[in-house]
Structure 1
Amino acid sequence: MNTKTTIEPKSKPPSKFSSFIKMPHTLVIIVFIILICALLTYILPAGEFDRVEDKETGNTVVVENTFHSVEQDPVSIIDVPLAIVQGLTSASDTVFFIFIIGGVFQIINSTGTIEAVTARVGKAFMNRGLVVIPIFLALFSVGGFTMGMSAEVMAFVPIGIAIARSLGYDAVTGTAMVMLGAASGFTAGLLNPFNVGIAQSIAEIPLFSGMWLRVILLVILLAVTSAYIIRYAKKVKKDPSLSFSYELEKEEGMGRTDLIASLPQIKTAHYLTIIAVAAGFGVLIWGVSSKGWWMEELAAFFLSLGIIVGFLAKYGPSKIASEFVIGAKEITFGAFIVGIAKGVVVVLEQGAIIDSVVNGLFTSIAHLPTQIQVLGIYIVQNIMNIFITSGTGQAATTMPILVPLADLINVTRQTTVLIFQLGDGLSNCILPTSAMLMGSLAVSKIKYQEWVKFFWPLLLIWMVIGAGFVLFADFIQY
């Protein structure tokens, strides 16, 4: 399905000054952070905590009140490139896991199963009014909490818009019920290997553990988002002039069904793929919970799943290999982000100041109530998402600092991962640095300011829900 859209510029090009101050590339930001960390190794006193193994969990934990000074060993600017390479090497298991995941999901995507299922659902419910909104949200949340669907949703936005308009709604409604569904699933991260999986790996807790609370989070996010979109859609249907994309609707016209008629039919190969993937995720849950599967086992599992799906789709070995390479190539950025971000930790560890940073943070918040401590970390993690929108990059950058800090303030590591995933996911649908948002808006032709007017009240609701879950998780020692 071709979703390429050409948008004529409606305003003058940005000035040289505005181009200069735009947000730098994520890699530039991370390298800049590494350089700052190298500079800090000359400024901050070196020190470390004693660490012991927790006999109950097997985790290596920080011992409170054991921070002591060690010999200063600053990292020179010349050594920064070496630290970046060492970061890539030390994170190799995660980096190659991401490559394999990207390749396997491309094999699954190439079968056309996702498009066919979306079309089947859309056609089945397009005449049932508002019920299509929660159904689409739930459908795309599955892509979000399994394969980390994010920027990929832009390919499905035209389908959502066509169905929404055929029901008397607008482009904002159609875009929201696709993009916000994926965003809700990504944030909840039930089986998302790119945010929760990597964060839990760094935190040394079982992969995808603590799922029960994330399921509740997903249900609440979907329920609240459904109610919000339905309320807006009803107003637009009653009075189209209330649409935030009213000018676009006058140009495009409501009630278009031409795209819906051209959507693909679901075939036998699609059913086989659905069965294989569903069974595969059942095996995944069993392996992680009962057999203690880790990165190597998970990578082997996903690789096997991709090959099976390829053969079920009647692909030959070369076709499977070519699709795998395409997927691995498209995920290269995310994989390298993890490795390069690990360079931050390498510099802090080589300069013996990572514990100094943790001790400084602990000292500054130790006297505060626990609720304020966890909310403070939650806010900081949301701010970090402005600068590092990659979930994998954020995990590699922030989790090594958050984990020992959480140990010191008696916040569980599972709660720390929850704080990370909420900070990483909630604001992705409003940040202009988000590829998911800007790609979807480009395809839908909705102006950024129009989307912000629609979404900002829901973002506030999401943020409050996130804060509530963080406090609840801390209260029950999740």
Structure 2
Amino acid sequence: MKKRKFPTAQTILLIIAAMVALLTWIVPAGKYDTLSYNATENTFIIHGSEKETSLKATQETLNNLDVKIPLEKFTSGDIWKPINIPNTYKKLKAQPQGILDFIKSPIKGIVEAADIIFLVLIIGGLIGIMNLTGAFDAGISWMANALKGREFILIIVVTFLISLGGTTFGLAEETIAFYPILIPVFLAAKYDAMVALASIYLGSSIGTMFSTINPFSVIIASDAAGLNWTTGFTVRLIMYVIGTLICILYILFYAKRVKKDPSKSVIYSQKEEIEQLFGNTTNSTIKLTTRLRLIIIIFSLCFVVMVYGVSMLKWWFIEMTSVFLVGAILIGIIANIKESVFVDTFVKGASDLLGVALIVGIARGITVLMNDGLISDTMLYYASNMTNGMNKGLFINAMLYIYGGLSFFIPSSSGMAVLTMPIMSPLADGVGIGREAVVNAYQFGMGLFAFINPTGLILASLAIVKVGYDKWLKFVMPLVLILIVFTMIALTISVYI
């Protein structure tokens, strides 16, 4: 009997989308009123289900609305997205999503996610140009020789640096660029592709889970909770250090076992396929010439400029994509590639990541279905009512799991913060703990589920490496369980000290 293959990422997401469409027929429709700030007129705009109201932007207005956020958080631009207003949830006429809505959802998702999709495609083009120059082959061969006998350093450095990007400025979607570059390096070091995937994805996930100064999660969530973002910083920093160490040790343990016996690899059956896909550059005969060194420097600078722009200049996807496009053109000029060859190679490189781009769009389509079906706020409303009458320890751990569950429906950290924090953070007052505990539970809950969340980035990442979701779950679930226990203990201790 022929063994059935696990469904592809696209199929998994379409199944989830169908289930979400079905939920819109079962879950009551409802919505909170939202509040946004109009800087031009210095007014607050309340968006209700039936009408829009404009009010003077004062602290008194916020107090009257039971929004416990300082006015300056809005006027300074710290909160730039509409926030949900507490105690305004209303049931609305059901908007069940039918077959036609289900069919249209991936297309709507692709349109909504166009910014990240173009980033993925341009990165694919850049990778294609880099492969044509031979700079990757020469650089990887040199690195493999330089690290001979000390390959474990690669795991420590890559995981730590990416986690550092995650905890400081939310390095997540940007890591998609790293897989085609780093997988050949790990293969040359005699590891499997899972080690490369883990070092990048786990590094990013643990960093964003235990964000310390990340403006897209901890800062915006603290602002929406009415706190200074430094409140609770010590707990997050300690958790980040321990969490990153746990991840690095877990990857090192697996990597050592695979290097000693390749058949122990979770993806051993795909060994030849993956090595053929990413090339075996260990014995590359291409010399690392001055021109190739310059190309590698330009390529590396693309990431340096991107990181600086996102963290210091408030860049987002358009600016990041532009950096990689300019980098590809500069590399084409330095390598003296003919214009027609450059275009053909760039387009082919982009097409190699088209499947990844489609996964991003289909995943966004699931969010579109929930928003159009008006069930996202209903989930939030019932979740906020679940914690009534709980003691401190039970409350904070319930919040951890509530946020983990909600992140399936709202995978965006900044979106989750502004939509939920004005509703959830006041619940901490009722059980006698600081609101920073809810901010931490939001981060940790979203972060834990991000390791396996099919509506997040994992399926897009797996598609690049050609690894099935089932193989990933087999690899990562023991780590997830370790982190769940660690996080629950730490959160419980934090509300009692």
Q: TM-score range by the shorter chain?
A: 0.5 to 0.7
Q: Which of 305, 320, 329 pairs up with 2:342?
A: 320
The question of 1:404 aligning with 2:419 is answered yes
Aligned to 1:160: 189
User: Greater CA deviation, 113-122 or 47-56?
Assistant: 113-122
Distance 1:289 1:217, change over 3 A: same
Pairwise CA RMSD: 5.1
The question of 1:375 aligning with 2:404 is answered no
In 2, Cα distance between the equivalents of 1:213 and 1:270? Answer: 45
In 2, Cα distance between the equivalents of 1:399 and 1:345? Answer: 14
Contact 2:137 2:284 in 1 (8 A): no
Distance 1:226 1:94, change over 3 A: closer
1:355-434 correspondence runs (5 A): 355-365=377-387, 369=392, 371-377=396-402, 380=405, 395=411, 404-410=419-425, 416=442, 419-420=445-446, 422-425=448-451
In 1, Cα distance between the equivalents of 2:257 and 2:23? Answer: 54
Q: Which of 322, 339, 342 pairs up with 2:361?
A: 339
Contact 1:381 1:423 in 2 (8 A): no
Q: 3-state SS of the aligned residue for 2:86?
A: coil
CA deviation after TM superposition for structure 1 residue 48, in Å: 0.8
Q: 3-state SS of the aligned residue for 2:309?
A: helix
> Which ranges in structure 2 are unaligned for 5 or more consecutive residues?
37-72, 164-170, 209-213, 224-228, 269-279, 426-435
1:122-133 correspondence runs (5 A): 122-126=144-148, 129=149, 131-133=150-152
Q: 3-state SS of the aligned residue for 1:103?
A: helix
Q: Which of 22, 26, 31 pairs up with 2:14?
A: 31
In 2, Cα distance between the equivalents of 1:372 and 1:63? Answer: 24
In 2, Cα distance between the equivalents of 1:432 and 1:290? Answer: 29
Contact 2:94 2:373 in 1 (8 A): yes
User: Greater CA deviation, 97-106 or 457-466?
Assistant: 457-466
Aligned to 1:43: 26
Q: Alpha-carbon deviations, 1:135-183, whole Å to 9, x = none?
A: 354258768965434477654554222xxxxxxxxxxx67776554334
Aligned to 2:226: none
Q: 3-state SS of the aligned residue for 2:142?
A: helix
Identity %: 24
Q: Which of 200, 219, 244 pairs up with 1:182?
A: 200
Q: 3-state SS of the aligned residue for 1:315?
A: coil
CA deviation after TM superposition for structure 1 residue 468, in Å: 8.0
In 1, Cα distance between the equivalents of 2:133 and 2:352? Answer: 17
In 2, Cα distance between the equivalents of 1:263 and 1:68? Answer: 68
Q: Letter of the aligned partner of 1:41 in structure 2?
A: T
Contact 2:97 2:369 in 1 (8 A): yes
TM-score (normalised: structure 1)? 0.64
CA deviation after TM superposition for structure 1 residue 119, in Å: 2.3
CA deviation after TM superposition for structure 1 residue 355, in Å: 1.4
CA deviation after TM superposition for structure 1 residue 228, in Å: 5.8
1:181-260 correspondence runs (5 A): 181-188=199-206, 223-224=245-246, 260=282
In 1, Cα distance between the equivalents of 2:370 and 2:336? Answer: 50
The question of 1:135 aligning with 2:118 is answered no
CA deviation after TM superposition for structure 1 residue 61, in Å: 1.0
Q: 3-state SS of the aligned residue for 2:296?
A: helix
Distance 1:260 1:335, change over 3 A: closer
Contact 2:400 2:442 in 1 (8 A): no
Contact 1:83 1:346 in 2 (8 A): yes
TM-score (normalised: structure 2)? 0.62
Contact 1:141 1:183 in 2 (8 A): no
User: Greater CA deviation, 139-148 or 278-287?
Assistant: 139-148
Aligned to 1:311: 333
Distance 1:75 1:59, change over 3 A: same
